[in-house]
Structure 1
Amino acid sequence: MSLYERKGFDAALAALPGVTFVDQWEAHIAKVGSKVFCLLSDAAPHRLVFKCGEDSFDILTALDGVEQAAYFAKRQWVSVVQGSDLTEADLFAYASRSHALIATGLTKKLRTELGIA
């Protein structure tokens, strides 16, 4: 299944600790500790939006189909359109990294409650 499809998105990201899903902003959103870490747009062409590190931001935005995410922090959030140069494995790896980046901002107590080491 593809991360660009709701079933694939949910199946892949639900494997990460402490993940919940909500529908808002005309999108399907994955959260950890009530903080967004990945978003799947409802409208075609489908897009994934996730947080990345500074170095990854520069690398990713140089690829076709990847750009700075609108409405998110100026840097370190990217929007990846379906059909981009990234493989499903790459997308999952970046979404997992986004989860880890966001989870580090949670309190130690909440990380423990969510099963995040």
Structure 2
Amino acid sequence: MDYEQFNQFCGGLKATTHVVQWGNSHVWKVGGKVFAIGGWSKKNDQPAFTFKSSPLNYEFLSQCEGYIPAPYFATRGMKWIQQTDTTGHLDEDLKYYLSESYRLVALGLSQRKRNELGIVLENRNAET
């Protein structure tokens, strides 16, 4: 996945906004809260994608090739992962994890805010 595809996917999720900040990174938000970041690659010529994860997914992905605990976030105890392998074979996985990040962040919004934004979510307590 490249940044254009990343932005297209994140932009297709309900009530999202995009800003460029933090060292020219593509930052995606729902309800004003960050759920995905495209940027911060240690290899400037290769994309990297950062997203929030459930505790279970965090533990799993932390041990998987192509993923690392997200710089800055993980060192502060937050369950964020960075996908560093963007060669394409993990694109479908990335779409799933971006959708999950969106869901987790949106669940953190008040019900009133979700209603204002027209967001209807399934709460899967086992993973959150």
- Same fold judged by TM-score > 0.5? yes
Structure 2, unaligned stretches of length 5 or more? 121-128
Residues 19 and 33 in structure 1, CA contact (< 8 A), matched pair in contact too? yes
Rounded to whole Å, the distance in 1 between the matches of 2:37 and 2:64 is: 19
Superposition map of 1:90-109 within 5 A: 90-109=93-112
Distance 1:81 1:70, change over 3 A: same
For residues 5-50 of structure 1, the C-alpha deviation after alignment (integer angstroms, 9 at most, x for no partner) is: 2x21121111111110001102110100111000000633211000
Structure 2 CA distance for partners of 1:44 and 1:15, relative to 1, 3 Å: same
- Residue 17 of structure 2 aligns with an amino acid whose one-letter code is T
Q: Which runs of 4+ in 1 moved over 2 A?
A: 42-45, 82-86
**Whole-Å separation in 1 of the counterparts to 2:107 and 2:89:** 25
Q: Which has the higher strand share?
A: 1
After TM superposition, the structure 1 = structure 2 runs for residues 1-117 of structure 1, keeping only pairs within 5 Å, are 2=1, 4-5=2-3, 7-26=4-23, 27-41=25-39, 43-72=44-73, 73-83=76-86, 87-117=90-120
Q: Is the 8 A contact 1:65 1:85 kept in 2?
A: no
Q: Percent identity?
A: 31
What letter is aligned with 2:65?
D
Deviation at 1:105, TM superposition (A): 0.8
TM-score by length of 2: 0.81
SS across alignment from 2:71: coil
Residues 71 and 33 of structure 1, relative CA distance in 2, 3 Å threshold: same
CA contact (8 A) 1:65 1:84 kept: no
Structure 1, unmatched stretches of 5+, are none
Q: Report the CA distance shift for 1:59/1:13 in structure 2 as closer, same or farther (over 3 A).
A: same
